[in-house]
A and B are shown apart, each in its own frame.
Chain A
Amino acid sequence: MTQLVKINVTVNGVSYEREVEPRLLLSDFIRHDLKLTGTHVGCEHGLCGACTILFDGESVRSCIMFAVMADRHTIETVESLGTPDHLHPLQEAFMEKHALQCGFCTPGFLMTLVDYLGDNKNPTDEEIREAIDGNFCRCTGYENIVEAVRLAAKKMAAHS
């Protein structure tokens, strides 16, 4: 058997110490070891963006990283944003603009966008499309997502 490696990862503010196989994907570690199943896996080759998380504050694809690479790093997943009763303004905007249908890609979009909107307070439609170009959605045709991002930017400005 492969030797296990001890890692220490902070996820959504909680510190976890776990022993993992060196080849364990970060996405599988988050989903199956930590049971944070809000992060989804759609392609397992880093293209669809469903598995996007924040890694030390930057949005990255967790399906093309190993869990051991997260040792002594900080991660945020969709579960860090809001709860069903108290949604994050970005999540509220997605609901109000019907920016999700099956919802499988949604956590990836949200994590790409919290990072993006943190740095870009008032993006144009074109900039929004560029920002989400690495996230695939099969249900919405992206239009309502673009509208949701515009609304979220307003909401987030009002919150801050």
Chain B
Amino acid sequence: MKLDGEHVFNGPREDVWEMFYDPAVLASAVPGMDKLDVVAENVYEGVMNVRIGPVSGKFQGKLSLTDVVEPESLTLMVDGKGAPGYGKGVGKVVFTQNPDGTTTIKYDGDMNIGGALASVGQRMIDSVAKSMIRSAFETLDKALEARLAAKKTGTEVNFTPPTQTEFASGVAKDMVGGFTKVPEFRLILYILPVVAILVILALVLGK
């Protein structure tokens, strides 16, 4: 699966870069991430809860940053596995300072998935992955705003990451949008009830 895109952060490149290097911020930005520990320089280990359509479960993962050229670019490697399968990906992230004081980050990566995640979840994983990325950037936007504000005023960073429920409803919304473009129109009829039931069950059982 290819993942590429870009996002503009409303702040200078150094601050964006610094934020990326803070595991607490990264952990809060990735939906479902329970924790992210630094195990060596540029190597993190974490536990993440993932729900992709009918497939859900805990993933144990390792995230490492290589080819680090501060504050311009880095290569991100993710390697995770859990009961629902495995995922392995490599992506290049480039940070560009824009003349207007904002920063564009461009990412371009490849992800391999296996197990139930692939055999049952693949049809949805694209949407979920895009949702996760979008949601992560939204969180990071807020985190950056809070960081810049705190920097300006010299106060504590005031920032709360979104909840799982907020994320789940975001994914459902994205998927509905995404699937109207699929030519196999009948899929919508298949998937929507299943997704709806699973989301509802997840919410009910979650309580």
Chain A residues in the interface with B (C-beta under 8 A): 45-47, 64
Asked if B190 and A47 make an inter-chain contact with CB atoms under 8 angstroms apart, the answer reads: yes
How many of chain B's residues touch chain A, expressed as a range?
under 10
Q: Distance in Å from the Cβ of A23 to the closest Cβ of chain B?
A: 9
Residue of chain A at shortest CB distance from B191? A47
Asked if B190 and A64 make an inter-chain contact with CB atoms under 8 angstroms apart, the answer reads: no
Whether a CB of chain A sits under 8 angstroms from the CB of B197 is yes
Chosen A-B contacts, 9 in total, with CB atoms closer than 8 Å, are A45-B54, A45-B194, A46-B193, A46-B194, A46-B197, A47-B190, A47-B194, A64-B194, A64-B197
Residue of chain B at shortest CB distance from A22? B205
User: What residues of chain A lie closer than 8 Å to B193, measured between beta carbons?
Assistant: 46
Residue of chain A at shortest CB distance from B190? A47
How many A-B Cβ pairs are below 8 Å?
9
Residue of chain B at shortest CB distance from A65? B197
User: What residues of chain B lie closer than 8 Å to A47, measured between beta carbons?
Assistant: 190, 194
Chain B residues in the interface with A (C-beta under 8 A): 54, 190, 193-194, 197
User: What residues of chain A lie closer than 8 Å to B197, measured between beta carbons?
Assistant: 46, 64
Give CA–CA (A46, B197) in the complex, Å: 10
Give CA–CA (A46, B193) in the complex, Å: 9
Q: Distance in Å from the Cβ of A95 to the closest Cβ of chain B?
A: 31
Q: Distance in Å from the Cβ of A33 to the closest Cβ of chain B?
A: 21
User: What residues of chain A lie closer than 8 Å to B190, measured between beta carbons?
Assistant: 47
Residue of chain B at shortest CB distance from A64? B197
Q: Distance in Å from the Cβ of B207 to the closest Cβ of chain A?
A: 13
Residue of chain A at shortest CB distance from B120? A45
Q: Distance in Å from the Cβ of B186 to the closest Cβ of chain A?
A: 9
Q: Distance in Å from the Cβ of A9 to the closest Cβ of chain B?
A: 20
Give CA–CA (A15, B159) in the complex, Å: 55
Q: Distance in Å from the Cβ of A134 to the closest Cβ of chain B?
A: 9
User: What residues of chain B lie closer than 8 Å to A45, measured between beta carbons?
Assistant: 54, 194
Give CA–CA (A5, B193) in the complex, Å: 27
Q: Distance in Å from the Cβ of A5 to the closest Cβ of chain B?
A: 14
Q: A45-B54, A45-B194, A46-B197 are in contact. List 5 more A-B contacts (CB 8 A).
A: A46-B193, A46-B194, A47-B190, A47-B194, A64-B194
Give CA–CA (A45, B120) in the complex, Å: 11
User: What residues of chain B lie closer than 8 Å to A46, measured between beta carbons?
Assistant: 193-194, 197
Q: Distance in Å from the Cβ of A61 to the closest Cβ of chain B?
A: 9
**Which 4 residue pairs spanning A and B have beta carbons closest together?**
A46-B194, A64-B197, A47-B190, A45-B194
Give CA–CA (A46, B190) in the complex, Å: 9
Q: Distance in Å from the Cβ of B130 to the closest Cβ of chain A?
A: 24
Q: Distance in Å from the Cβ of B87 to the closest Cβ of chain A?
A: 22
Give CA–CA (A45, B193) in the complex, Å: 11
Give CA–CA (A47, B191) in the complex, Å: 9
Give CA–CA (A45, B197) in the complex, Å: 11
User: What residues of chain B lie closer than 8 Å to A64, measured between beta carbons?
Assistant: 194, 197
Give CA–CA (A47, B187) in the complex, Å: 11
Give CA–CA (A46, B201) in the complex, Å: 14
Q: Distance in Å from the Cβ of B74 to the closest Cβ of chain A?
A: 40
Give CA–CA (A64, B197) in the complex, Å: 9
